[in-house]
Amino acid sequence: MDEHTFVLLYKSMVRPHVKYGNSIWCPFKLGDIEEIEKIQKRATKLINNLKNKTYRERLLHLKLPTLTFRCMQGDMIEVFKLTHNIYDESVSPQTSFRTRSNTRGNNYKLLNHTLCLILLLILVEPETDQ
C-alpha cells in the first residue's frame, strides 16, 4: 500500500473511531493514552518502507500528528468556541473573564473557578426536573 492511500484510509476509516466522543471521554490516565496511541503506532507500521523507522519519523514522513496532540488541539478549539460565544448562549455555560490584569496579553483570561465550572458543565449533564 502506498503512503498516500494509507493516509486517506487511516484518516477516513480509523481515526474517526479512535477520536469518537473525545470531548466527553478524554483519556487522562497514562495507560489509556498509551493504549490509544498504540493503534496509530501499529497502523503506521503497515507501510513497508516505513517499518524500520521510529514512530516519530513515521509520523513526520506521513505528516500525521500524534493522537495526544489531536486531543489537546480539540480541547483548545472547544475553549476558543466557549470564550468567543460561538455556541448558542442558551445552552453554553456563562464565562467570566478577568477585566483587570497586571500582565500583558489578551482579554480572554478566564478566572480559575470559571474554567472548572465550564469543565463540570460540559462533562456532567444537568438534571432536568420533570
> Same structural domain for residues 104 and 57?
no
Asked which of 69, 84, 106 is the last residue of a domain, the reply is: 69
Task: Give CA angle at 9 (5, 12), nearest 5°.
Answer: 140
> Same structural domain for residues 42 and 82?
no
Our count of domains for the chain comes to 2
pLDDT of residue 41: 92
CA dihedral 58, 64, 67, 68 (to 10 degrees): 90
Mean pLDDT by 10 residues, the chain (130 residues): 89 84 68 85 91 92 88 81 78 66 65 58 53
> Same structural domain for residues 119 and 103?
yes
How far, in Å, are 11, 31, 35, 96, 112 from residue 68 at the CA level?
Answer: 15, 12, 11, 29, 24
> Same structural domain for residues 61 and 9?
yes
pLDDT of residue 60: 93
Query: Is 129 part of a structural domain of the chain?
Result: no
How far, in Å, are 1, 20, 72, 125 from residue 128 at the CA level?
Answer: 52, 26, 31, 9
pLDDT of residue 63: 92
> Same structural domain for residues 62 and 91?
no
Containing structural domain, residue 102: 75-123
Overall pTM surpassing 0.75 (yes/no):
no
pLDDT of residue 90: 75
> Same structural domain for residues 57 and 11?
yes
